[in-house]
Amino acid sequence: MKRIYIIFLVLVIFSCAKSQKEESAEAQEVIDTAITVSKTQFDGENMSLVELTKYPFNDVIHVNGMTDVPPNNKASISTFAGGYVKRTPLLIGDKVRKGQPLVTLENTDYVEIQQEYLEVAEQLNYLKSEYNRQQTLFDEKITSEKNFLKAESTYKSTLAMYNGLQKKLRMMNINPQSVEQGNITSAITIYAPIEGSVTKVNISNGTYVAPSDEIMEIVNTDHIHLELTAFEKDILKIKKGQQIRFKVPEASDSIYDAEVHLVGTSVDATDRTVKIHGHIEDESHLRFVTGMFIEADIITASTEGFALPKDAVVEIDDAFFALVLKEQTADGYVFDKVKLEVGKQTEDFVEVLNSDVLTDKKVLGKGTFMILLE
């Protein structure tokens, strides 16, 4: 019995000693992790305190592309009949109205077409009278059907030629009625088919322009859109109506909003990509031009989580830490180094998965890295 008592006494003494040792170790751990920042250092280095906040984390697909306009907002100016440039008052960047004169061409071929039209017009008057006369004679059985059919054929073929030449003159912007009155010109004027700005000028005075040549280009930038390129592996995630956030890296650091409007239905065999058409939100206040390089993120999904600013989180040896305010005194601030479990990250925020350790607590939002480095 006495022996059992002695063993029990030894166990009690050993247990108390162990408990005191653990309490001493815990106290030592708190002392070791506590970090003090003086008020002078806090204010001098513009440090700040932040709290855990709700933040949307997006699943995005990174794409590139260009700004462009719809086909109806772009016009390539050419001529139906070749000629020499007589006058071109416009330069790149000039604004033009629909119907405004763009360039004047001159050629002797224009004169020949008008002369041919006049000759056919004069023949038509005679042939029409002859046709009507032969029809009357045929109806009264005075002339033969052969004579009537010949007059009819000659009249209708000449009428077709007349209408064709008239159409050709109108396409050259020459008024047929003016030609019939004897006003023949050696020059034609080409007019703007749309309103916009001149983006290309490929001619100068005296240049010969063939019907296949592009004289100039006009672009109306009232409706700028995005033409983006997505890889084949991502295309099934992209749908109409998804949000696009994009920037023009060579021109600005600003982020702009757009929306997926059309998704291509075929894959380019060369680079295995698909075209994405995006509409820019509130484009009337922006000054984009066509052909600007775009970097964009298409947001395919979005979740909200608790997060801290990126400056408040420090990565050390593949682990993430934050400094949580333990105590604030007249002389400074005392922080605890707390390990975090992180999820998604953006350029500005880090998702905190074990957010319960930071609930209702303040965290050092700026200067964390330098303090932990020290």
Span 279-309, pLDDT tens digits: 998 877 778 888 999 999 999 988 889 999 9
Q: What is the pTM assigned to this prediction?
A: 0.66
| CATH number of this structure's domain 34-59+304-373 | 2.40.420.20
CA distances from 16 to 12, 20, 92, 179 (A): 6, 6, 92, 121
| CATH number of this structure's domain 71-107+186-220 | 2.40.50.100
pLDDT in tens, 220-244: 988 899 999 999 999 999 999 999 9
Pairing relationship of beta strands 101-106 and 273-280 according to DSSP bridges: unpaired
- Distance of alpha carbon 361 from alpha carbon 374, whole angstroms: 24
pLDDT in tens, 145-182: 787 788 888 888 889 999 999 999 999 999 999 999 98
Q: Do domains 34-59+304-373 and 71-107+186-220 have the same CATH topology?
A: no
Question: In the CATH hierarchy, which top-level class contains the domain 62-70+221-301?
Answer: mainly beta
Parse the chain into domains and list their residue ranges: 34-59+304-373, 62-70+221-301, 71-107+186-220, 109-179
The candidate with the shortest Cα–Cα distance to 279, out of 71, 64, 68, 58, is 68
Angle at 65 between CA 223 and CA 279, to 5 degrees: 30
